[in-house]
Amino acid sequence: DTEVTQTPKHLVMGMTNKKSLKCEQHMGHRAMYWYKQKAKKPPELMFVYSYEKLSINESVPSRFSPECPNSSLLNLHLHALQPEDSALYLCASSHVIGGNEQYFGPGTRLTVT
Amino acid sequence: KQEVTQIPAALSVPEGENLVLNCSFTDSAIYNLQWFRQDPGKGLTSLLLIQSSQREQTSGRLNASLDKSSGRSTLYIAASQPGDSATYLCAAYSNSGYALNFGKGTSLLVTP
């Protein structure tokens, strides 16, 4: 099973809302990633977790708060977002950090109104 | 930082043609290189991963090559089909190992 699942598929939220994105994998991978992808642009790395610890934060604004409660789950908590944060949010996982093949989920399409 | 460029940005071919997508990268100290397919509004599907010690990888009608010295990779698609229509992304791992640096992609349309 090489599947990464993400929920919800679509999310519309106001600028004052608090919401969370969820990502799950059962491949035993110990590295998990959040990417942001704007229309017709390549994905941009946001965060990297390795063995449930935050390893990389690519200078992401604090209104995005990641969490890795266990080795299979990755959350992205959203608060006070701006309309320009509307994008496709992709989760990925790999065996470990270090150039291993990354497997992506289907993404959550986020619209901030 | 590793810069990745993909040419062409868009390509339209008739069904049955063999085609080549190009990817170039600036840092030859590459760790690995991964090719993905993305359908509109969807996530990324991994097609092939080429380790830095390898020169090519094959999967079905797909063949990817890697030439570190020239900073280039190619994705060869044989006997193209309308179902191959998608955006193809090339991504190179820098030697730091954690970051995938993506090209902007090639949008492929295969017409019946």
Return the pLDDT at A60: 96
The predicted structure's pLDDT at residue A99: 76
Residue A32 to residue A62: CA distance in whole angstroms: 19
Residue B24 has pLDDT above 90, yes or no: yes
Q: For B33-49, how does the pLDDT look when each residue is reduced to its tens digit (9 = 90+)?
A: 999 999 998 999 999 99
Q: Work out the number of other CB atoms within 10 angstroms of the CB of residue A90.
A: 26
Confidence of residue B96 (pLDDT cuts 50, 70, 90): low
Cβ contact A10:B72 at 8 Å: no
Residue appearing with tokens 């969807």: B42
Whether residue B2 is predicted with pLDDT greater than 90 in this model: the reply is no
> What distance in Å separates the CA atoms of residue B13 and residue A34, rounded to the nearest whole number?
34
**pLDDT classification of B30: cutoffs 50, 70, 90:** confident
Cβ <8 Å between B34 and A43 = no
B102·A43 Cβ contact <8 A: yes
pLDDT of residue B25 exceeding 80, the answer is: yes
Widest pairwise Cα distance in chain B:
43
pLDDT, tens digit, 9 for 90 and up, residues A46-66 = 999 999 999 989 899 999 999
Q: Could you give the strand order of the β-sheet that contains B62-67, starting from the edge strand earlier in sequence? A: B4-7, B19-25, B72-77, B62-67, B56-59
Burial A67-84 (b: 16+ CB within 10 A, else e): ebeebbebbbebeebeee
**Other C-beta atoms within 10 Å of A48: how many?**
21
User: If we measure between CA atoms, which residue out of B91, B110, B111 comes closest to residue B101?
Assistant: B91
Instruction: Say if the Cβ atoms of B36 and A48 lie within 8 Å.
Output: no
Residue type, B86: A
Single-letter code of the amino acid located at B27: D
Q: What is the mean pLDDT of each run of 10 residues along chain A (113 residues)?
A: 90 94 96 95 94 93 97 96 97 89 95 96
pLDDT class of B97 with cuts at 50, 70, 90: low
**Residue A49 C-alpha, separation from nearest chain B C-alpha, in angstroms:** 10
Closest CB to A109 among B41, B46, B105: B41
pLDDT of amino acid A1: 63
pLDDT of A97 = 87
What is the number of CB-based contacts under 8 A between chain A and chain B? 53
Residue B24's region, left for phi above 0, alpha for psi from -120 to 50, else beta, is beta
Q: What percent of chain B has pLDDT over 70?
A: 97
CA dist B81 → B72, B74, B110 (Å) = 25, 19, 6
Residue A98 has what pLDDT?
79
Q: Taking a contact as any Cβ pair under 8 Å apart, which residues of chain B between 21 and 80 contact chain A?
A: 31-32, 34, 36, 41-46, 49, 52
Task: Report the C-alpha gap between A7 and B34 in whole angstroms.
Answer: 25
Judge: A98–B97 Cβ closer than 8 Å, yes or no: yes
